[in-house]
C-alpha cells in the first residue's frame, strides 16, 4: 500500500480524494481517483525522467477520463449511504474538472452490491479481467 501511494500520490488531484470520518475523527470511508495518464505514459515512452513526468502530469490534468483507484467503507458503516454520498461528491468534482467519463477500479464479478450501485448510476461493464490457474505439478 505504501509503495502504491508513493508511486502515484504526486499525480492525484486532491479534489479526487473523498474521505468520511466519524465523531472520533477516524476514517470510515474513502475513495480516490486520478485523471487518466495513459496518453502521457505513451508520449513519454514509459520514461519518467528527464521530461516524461511533465507529459504524464499534463495528461492527467487534460484527460476527460477519471480513473477510480481505491475505495472502501468500514464494515460497521456499510449500508448507510456513505457510498452514494462519496459517489455524488466525486461526480461533482469530476464534472467541475471537465471529466466526461469515470472508469471504476477493478470489481469482482460476484461483488453484486458494488456492481448494482454502479449500474444504478448508469455504469456499464465494458471490459473484464479474469485470472485462470493451472497446477503445474501434474
* DSSP class per residue in 70-125: EEEE-GGGTTSSHHHHHHHHHHHHHHHTT--EEEPPP--TT-HHHHHHHHHTT---
Dihedral over alpha carbons 56, 41, 14, 3 (to 10 degrees): -120
Domain membership flag for residue 125: no
How much is the pLDDT for 31?
Answer: 92
CATH number at residue 42: 3.40.630.30
**Which pLDDT belongs to residue 45?**
85
Cα gap 60→40, rounded to integer Å: 8
Task: Look at residue 137 and tell me if it is in a domain.
Answer: no
For residue 41, what pLDDT is reported?
87
Instruction: Please write the tens of the pLDDT for every residue from 3-30.
Output: 766 766 777 888 999 999 999 999 999 9
pLDDT at 92 over 70: yes
- Domain-embedded: residue 37: yes
In a domain, 45, yes or no: yes
Where residue 105 falls among pLDDT bands split at 50, 70, 90? confident
Is residue 77 in a domain?
A: yes
- Structural domain boundaries, residue 77: 2-120
Domain-located, residue 102: yes
Better pLDDT: 134 or 119 = 134
Q: Is residue 135 part of a domain?
A: no
Alpha-carbon span 76 to 80, nearest angstrom: 9
| 65 pLDDT more than 70 | yes
| Structural domain contains residue 132 | no
**Count of domains forming the chain:** 1
Amino acid at each position: 500500500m505504501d509503495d502504491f501511494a508513493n508511486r502515484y500520490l504526486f499525480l492525484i488531484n486532491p479534489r479526487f480524494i473523498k474521505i468520511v470520518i466519524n465523531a472520533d475523527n477516524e476514517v470510515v470511508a474513502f475513495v480516490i481517483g486520478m485523471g487518466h495518464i495513459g496518453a502521457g505514459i505513451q508520449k513519454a515512452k514509459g520514461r519518467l525522467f528527464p521530461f516524461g513526468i511533465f507529459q504524464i502530469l499534463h495528461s492527467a490534468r487534460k484527460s476527460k477520463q477519471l480513473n477510480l483507484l481505491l475505495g472502501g467503507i468500514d464494515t460497521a458503516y456499510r449500508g448507510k449511504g456513505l457510498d452514494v454520498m462519496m459517489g455524488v461528491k466525486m461526480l461533482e468534482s469530476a464534472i467541475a474538472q471537465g471529466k466526461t467519463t469515470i472508469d471504476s477500479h477493478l470489481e469482482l464479478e460476484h461483488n453484486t452490491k458494488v456492481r448494482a450501485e454502479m449500474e444504478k448510476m448508469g455504469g456499464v461493464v465494458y471490459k473484464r479481467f479474469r485470472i485462470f490457474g493451472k497446477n503445474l505439478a501434474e
